[in-house]
């Protein structure tokens, strides 16, 4: 008897939670679609609300502004980027193979999230909130690169000798930010980096040459 009275309540709660998730995702999907047509700077919250088909109250229930909505999309992309880089960071296999695989996966990620990632790259220099977000997100890639470099220095005498007098954090940041720039150019369709094979070959050569040759 008790379970029979609780079941409808649980169902209503589940429906409410599902509806909330759907609303939030509609907002994010609308922003993603609009970024394929307009620059982030030119977009208004009103346009996002209209495209999502939600009320202003619903939008502000989930996000403090359009920057917060963009930040969520960026965090998701960055999370996928870390998954792509994980085999190299964790030394799961040979460094050359895992580096290339991670760089290629990064190229695919930037291609599938081009509008979102172009938006953050173009907007962070002039927006304090987005600046803090993007610098922090990029630092996570730099930190992961430092982790792998330091592991190689401990286990590979050739790497230790090669990088003996190198500022590892600066090198890691340089490699990370160079990748960001070339991925961005590719996402904008700028040659020669709009050719994925060229992009992957170039970045792989750069990383391998800096760390292992």
Query: Mind giving me the DSSP string for 91-145?
Result: T-S-HHHHHHHHHHHHHHHHHHTHHHHHHHHHHGGG-HHHHHHHHHHHHHHHHHH
Clarify whether residues 167 and 183 are in a common domain.
yes
* Listed residues 10, 44, 63: the one ending a domain: 63
**Statement to judge: residues 96 and 50 lie in one domain:** no
Same-domain pairing of 134 and 108: yes
Kindly state whether residues 35 and 50 are assigned to the same domain: yes
Whole-prediction pTM:
0.86
Residues 170 and 82 in one domain: yes
Are 11 and 75 in a shared domain?
no
Tell me how many domains the chain contains.
2
Contact, 102 vs 87, CB < 8 A?
yes
Expressed as residue numbers, the domain containing 172 is 66-211
The domain boundary, picked from 63, 83, 115, lies at 63
- In the prediction, which pLDDT does 14 show? 38
CATH code, domain carrying 30: 1.10.10.60
| Final residue in a domain of this structure, among 15, 47, 63 | 63
User: What is the C-alpha separation between 103 and 84, in angstroms, rounded?
Assistant: 8
**Residue-level pLDDT at 12:** 46
Q: What pLDDT does 90 receive?
A: 85
Domain CATH for 109: 1.10.357.10
d(CA 21, CA 25): 6
Are 41 and 104 contained in the same domain?
no
Q: Residue-wise pLDDT tens for the chain (213 aa)? A: 344 444 444 344 434 444 556 899 999 999 999 999 999 999 999 999 999 999 999 999 999 999 999 999 999 999 999 998 888 888 766 788 999 999 999 999 999 999 999 999 999 999 999 999 999 999 999 999 999 999 999 999 999 999 999 999 999 999 999 999 999 999 999 999 999 999 999 999 999 999 998
Q: Please identify which residue in the block is written with the tokens 């993603």.
A: 32
Are 38 and 126 within one domain? no
Same domain, 27 and 98: no
Q: Examine the domain organization and report whether 40 and 74 are in the same domain.
A: no
Do 86 and 175 reside in the same domain of the chain? yes
Rounded-to-integer distance, Cα 204 and Cα 96, Å: 8
In this structure, what token pair is assigned to residue 67? 């920057």
Are residues 14 and 81 located together in one domain of the fold? no
């Amino acid at each position: 008897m008790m379970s029979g009275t609780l079941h409808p309540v649980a169902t209503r709660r589940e429906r409410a939670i599902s509806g909330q998730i759907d609303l939030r995702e509609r907002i994010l999907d609308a922003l993603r679609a609009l970024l394929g047509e307009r620059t982030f700077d030119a977009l208004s919250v009103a346009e996002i609300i209209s495209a999502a088909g939600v009320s202003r109250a619903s939008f502000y229930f989930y996000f403090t502004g359009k920057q917060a909505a963009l930040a969520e999309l960026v965090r998701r992309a960055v999370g996928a980027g870390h998954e792509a880089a994980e085999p190299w960071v964790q030394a799961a296999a040979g460094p050359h193979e895992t580096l290339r695989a991670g760089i290629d996966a990064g190229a695919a990620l930037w291609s599938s999230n081009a509008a979102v990632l172009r938006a953050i790259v173009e907007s962070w220099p002039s927006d304090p909130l987005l600046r803090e977000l993007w610098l922090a997100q990029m630092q996570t890639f730099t930190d992961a690169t430092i982790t792998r470099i330091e592991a190689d220095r401990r286990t590979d005498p050739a790497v230790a000798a090669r990088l003996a007098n190198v500022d590892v954090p600066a090198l890691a940041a340089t490699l990370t930010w160079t990748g960001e720039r070339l991925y961005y150019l590719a996402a904008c369709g700028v040659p020669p980096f709009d050719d994925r094979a060229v992009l992957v070959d170039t970045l792989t050569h750069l990383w391998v040459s800096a760390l292992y040759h």
